[in-house]
Amino acid sequence: MGDLDKPKLVFFFDEAHLLFSDAPKALIERIELVVRLVRSKGVGVYFVTQNPLDIPDTVLGQLGNRVQHALRAFTPRDQKAVKSAAETMRANPRLDIATAITELGVGEALVSFLDEKGRPCVTERVYVLPPGSQIGPVSPEQRKTLLSSSVVAGVYEKIVDRESAFERLSQRTQAKQAEAQAQQEAQAQEKADGGGLLDSLGGILGGGAKRTRASAGEQLIKSAASSIGREVGRQIIRGVLGSILGGGKRR
């Protein structure tokens, strides 16, 4: 994309001396590579520090835009920083950069930005305008204007309440519980409908109560049925044997 007039994304690293202080060489090389590559992708990187000497020369050489505020030369190191900052900015025949750096007041800065062909412009002394703001909340009209002009306008206005995994699992569990309950009720109904003669008589004589032992009526019926069965069996056997033996005697 080259150097865009307005980058798509900008990173500001404040107190940059903490980033580069005692940093290993491998880390500085990676930072230099990232700064070199991301600029062509429409990403801007700014290192904010009080002294340009805090940034390694290899990284500083990859930065095209410069905003230099005042530096006070109270110590030899400060004088070296002023000289270094002045020499790294593009010269302006109408401006003594080294002197101007020490004379800058509040709101003033020396700036050098890239032109449309990616070349650093000559250094200019400018006043920095304060950001526009207001005290108090925005009005409904201002809020509506800000929302309509946002890059994400029309993306998040629609409320979407998707069915969650918890809701699906709960529905599945409730369906299985209802199915199991229906099966239990069906089995209970089949058991109640197909009890037989003894269960019916036992329910009548025993009052329909469930007991672990047979009631007196059930025992009486079972005993009578057993006696009748034995007597009928004896009569059948006698008749068969009598027919066989009697027939032999008549011969």
pTM beyond 0.75: no
* Domain annotation covers residue 234: no
Report how many domains make up the chain: 1
Residue 53's CATH number: 3.40.50.300
* Domain annotation covers residue 108: yes
* Domain annotation covers residue 59: yes
Mean pLDDT value of segment 117-131: 83
- Residue with the bigger pLDDT between 23 and 223: it is 23
Mean pLDDT of the chain: 78
Mean pLDDT value of segment 49-59: 81
Q: b/e map of 89-121 (b: 16 or more CB within 10 Å)? A: beebeeeebbebbeebeeeebbebebeeeeeee
Q: Which residue from 25, 19, 30 is spatially nearest to 55, judged by alpha carbons?
A: 19
Q: Which residues contact 16 (CB under 8 A, 6 or more apart)?
A: 47, 48, 49, 54, 55
Percent of the chain with pLDDT over 70: 75
* Domain annotation covers residue 50: yes
In this predicted structure, what is the pLDDT of residue 249? 47
Interior angle at CA 86, CA 84 and CA 88, nearest 5: 70
Look up the domain containing 107 and give its range. Answer: 9-130
- Residue with the bigger pLDDT between 222 and 186: it is 186
Q: Which of 79-83, 174-178, 207-211, 219-223 has the highest mean pLDDT?
A: 174-178
In this predicted structure, what is the pLDDT of residue 73? 77
Percent of the chain with pLDDT over 90: 5
Which of 16-25, 116-125, 175-184, 192-201 has the weakest average pLDDT?
192-201
pLDDT in tens, 198-248: 455 555 545 544 444 555 656 666 676 666 666 666 676 666 566 665 654
* Domain annotation covers residue 210: no
* Domain annotation covers residue 79: yes
* Domain annotation covers residue 115: yes
Output the six-digit token pair for 8. Answer: 């798509």
In this predicted structure, what is the pLDDT of residue 212? 45
* Domain annotation covers residue 99: yes
In this predicted structure, what is the pLDDT of residue 140? 92
In this predicted structure, what is the pLDDT of residue 105? 86
Q: What is the 3-state secondary structure (H, E, C) of the chain?
A: CCCCCCCCEEEEECCHHHHHCCCCHHHHHHHHHHHHHHHHHCEEEEECCCCHHHCCHHHHCCCCCEEECCCCCCCHHHHHHHHHHHHHCCCECCECHHHHHHHCCCCEEEEECECCCCCECCCEEEECCCCCCCCCCCCHHHHHHHHHCCCCCCCCCCCCCCCCHHHHHHHHHHHHHHHHHHHHHHHHHHHHHCCCHHHHHHHHHHCCCCCCCCCHHHHHHHHHHHHHHHHHHHHHHHHHHHHHHHHHHHC
Q: How far apart are CA 201 and CA 130, in angstroms?
A: 102
